[in-house]
């Protein structure tokens, strides 16, 4: 409970609120009308009035009835955890796709919460002079929202088709895709910038990155890959958001390798790892190979920075697979990033790296240049009319230059 409330405090701060007070109530079962008890509701009303609070935020989802009743009793705006997260997402979305995804989630959340009887409700009468407008404002709003939802879903389907086309074009090159995932504020964008020099906005606030970004990356083996940064996960991520961000999350689902970034300096690292694995399971990405990137390890005391102990502890808490490789890094300082790149090279199940011995005629200088550009040269020797090169190259490059292989390499 304490961890969940602390996270709610961070979410409120990210949304621009200043937390004045925190209240807790334990009940055998929630009150159907107000979630909390009548006495607690009166206490909150007095507290909100005394603090001149502008909003009361609940850590649990509220039904439309509960939200309406609480606002009447507390005489202040009431929102729940989902509404708070949607508000943060709305303020962070920058691209047209991101804004559409957020709007879809907001409208899906709003639709069942439309209420109203009062003066806006008019029915057709049975006689002269009793005929009203024929349709309530509530019904009009519902129809407009449903129509807008259908329109956005169609637009996002076009986005998905476009992403699918881009992925198929990338796969025809072909290039492996590395997807950065992790709990929000784990340091994904900082690592993304460190690896790709992308200049993506990164700060300590939650959900700093919403819009996915893809950049090229050169591995130590000289293999090229694509690196994508994705939205951060969080416990109890609203289902409306998971559905709305399906087009974005498919980048993770189609990745060749997942880099699961964990803030190991956090006391909740185990629970956060479990939550990310849960979301990956929900989107059908559990079968994709993963590397645990233990970020902010340079903030740990020297005796605690043991990669094997941390890996087993995190995956043990998460109930995950123990075969994941793990690497200690500090994305901000650059500590361990070289080792991370080497590990990616070792485990990337795509166009594997092999050692080969080439004997290239000097007239094929373009192939010598290609080996320098796309391979890791181990040894080189020049003869009168040839060049002998021992290099680590991708299997595709080895096949491409197969005519130059020395006899012992064939």
Report how far residue 247's alpha carbon sits from residue 236's, in angstroms, rounded to the nearest whole number: 20
Report how far residue 265's alpha carbon sits from residue 304's, in angstroms, rounded to the nearest whole number: 10
At 4-29, the pLDDT tens digits run: 888 888 888 888 889 999 999 888 88
Domain boundary among 69, 87, 105: 87
Reported in sequence order, the residue ranges of 170-297 that DSSP labels E, i.e. its strands, are 177-182, 213-218, 224-229, 257-263, 290-295
**Do 240 and 311 belong together in one domain?**
yes
Quick one: pLDDT at residue 169?
59
**Do 246 and 308 belong together in one domain?**
yes
Quick one: pLDDT at residue 338?
93
**Do 376 and 307 belong together in one domain?**
no
Quick one: pLDDT at residue 210?
55
pLDDT < 50 regions, the chain: 116-132, 204, 208, 410
Looking up tokens 């795509």 gives 350
What does pTM read for this prediction? 0.69
**Do 250 and 305 belong together in one domain?**
yes
Cα-based torsion angle of the residue sequence 39, 40, 41, 46 in order, rounded to the nearest 10 degrees? 100
Quick one: pLDDT at residue 127?
45
- Is 17 inside any structural domain? yes
- Is 254 inside any structural domain? yes
Segments forming the whole domain that contains residue 327: 175-347
**Do 371 and 325 belong together in one domain?**
no
**Do 343 and 357 belong together in one domain?**
no
Quick one: pLDDT at residue 173?
54
Report how far residue 157's alpha carbon sits from residue 244's, in angstroms, rounded to the nearest whole number: 11
Domain boundary among 68, 87, 106: 87
The single-letter DSSP state of residue 231 is P
At 233-273, the pLDDT tens digits run: 777 766 666 666 665 676 788 788 999 999 999 888 888 88
**Do 397 and 311 belong together in one domain?**
no
**Do 318 and 368 belong together in one domain?**
no
**Do 202 and 320 belong together in one domain?**
yes
Looking up tokens 């701060």 gives 13
**Do 210 and 317 belong together in one domain?**
yes
Quick one: pLDDT at residue 56?
93
Q: How many domains does the chain fold into?
A: 3
**Do 194 and 305 belong together in one domain?**
yes
Domain boundary among 319, 347, 375: 347
């Amino acid at each position: 409970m304490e961890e969940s409330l602390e996270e709610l405090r961070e979410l409120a701060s990210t949304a621009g609120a200043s937390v004045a007070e925190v209240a807790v109530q334990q009940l055998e079962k929630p009150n159907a009308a107000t979630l909390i008890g009548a006495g607690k509701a009166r206490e909150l009303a007095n507290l909100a009035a005394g603090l001149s609070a502008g909003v009361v935020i609940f850590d649990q989802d509220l039904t439309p009835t509960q939200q309406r009743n609480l606002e009447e009793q507390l005489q202040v705006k009431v929102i729940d955890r989902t509404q708070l997260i949607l508000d943060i997402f709305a303020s962070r979305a920058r691209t047209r796709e991101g804004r559409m995804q957020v709007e879809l989630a907001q409208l899906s959340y709003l639709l069942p919460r439309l209420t109203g009887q009062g003066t806006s409700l008019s029915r057709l009468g049975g006689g002269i002079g009793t005929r009203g407008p024929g349709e309530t404002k509530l019904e009009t709003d519902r129809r407009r929202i449903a129509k807008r939802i259908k329109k956005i879903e169609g637009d996002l389907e076009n986005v998905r088709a476009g992403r699918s086309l881009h992925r198929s074009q990338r796969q025809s090159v072909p290039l492996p895709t590395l997807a950065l995932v992790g709990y929000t504020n784990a340091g994904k964008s900082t690592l993304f910038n460190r690896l790709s020099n992308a200049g993506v906005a990164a700060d300590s606030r939650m959900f700093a990155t919403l819009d996915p970004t893809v950049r090229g990356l050169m591995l130590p083996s000289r293999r090229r890959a694509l690196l994508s940064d994705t939205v951060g996960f969080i416990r109890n991520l609203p289902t409306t958001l998971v559905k709305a961000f399906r087009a974005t999350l498919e980048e993770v689902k189609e990745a060749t390798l997942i880099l699961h970034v964990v803030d190991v300096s956090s006391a909740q690292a185990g629970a956060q790892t479990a939550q990310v694995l849960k979301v990956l399971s929900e989107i059908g990405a559990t079968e994709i190979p993963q590397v645990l990137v233990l970020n902010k390890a340079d903030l740990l005391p020297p005796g605690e920075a043991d990669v094997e102990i941390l890996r087993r502890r995190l995956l043990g808490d998460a109930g995950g697979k123990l075969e994941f490789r793990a690497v200690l890094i500090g994305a901000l300082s650059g500590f361990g990033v070289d080792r991370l790149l080497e590990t990616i090279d070792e485990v990337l199940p795509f166009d594997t790296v092999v050692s080969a011995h080439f004997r290239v005629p000097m007239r094929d200088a373009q192939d010598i240049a290609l080996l320098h550009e796309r391979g890791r040269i181990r040894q080189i020797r020049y003869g009168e009319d040839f060049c002998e090169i021992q290099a680590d190259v991708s299997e595709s490059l080895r096949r491409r230059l197969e005519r130059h292989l020395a006899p012992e390499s064939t």
